[in-house]
Amino acid sequence: MAIASTVSDYLAEHDVAYDVLTHPHTATSGETAEATHVPGARLAKSVILEDDLGYLMVVLPSNRLVNLGELHRQLNRNLGLATESELGGLFSDCEVGALPAMGPAYGLETVVDDELAEQPDIYFEAGDHEQLIHVSAEAFHTLMGDRIQRGRFSH
118: closest CA among 100, 134, 137, 142?
Answer: 137
Cα distances (Å, whole numbers) of residue 48 to 17, 23, 99, 111, 141: 26, 24, 9, 10, 20
Alpha-carbon distance of 129 to 127, in angstroms, equals: 7
In this prediction the pTM is 0.93
Quote the domain boundaries for residue 31: 5-151
Cβ–Cβ < 8 Å for 87, 48 = yes
State pLDDT tens for residues 3-35: 999 999 999 999 999 999 999 998 888 888 888
Number of domains in the chain: 1
Alpha-carbon distance of 155 to 64, in angstroms, equals: 5
HSE toward the beta carbon, residue 42, CA cutoff 13 A: 17
Tens of each residue's pLDDT in the chain, 155 residues? 579 999 999 999 999 999 999 999 988 888 888 889 999 999 999 999 999 999 999 999 999 999 999 999 999 999 999 988 899 889 999 998 899 999 999 999 999 999 998 999 999 999 999 999 999 999 999 999 988 899 999 99
Look up the CATH number of the domain holding residue 121. 3.90.960.10
Cβ–Cβ < 8 Å for 62, 43 = yes
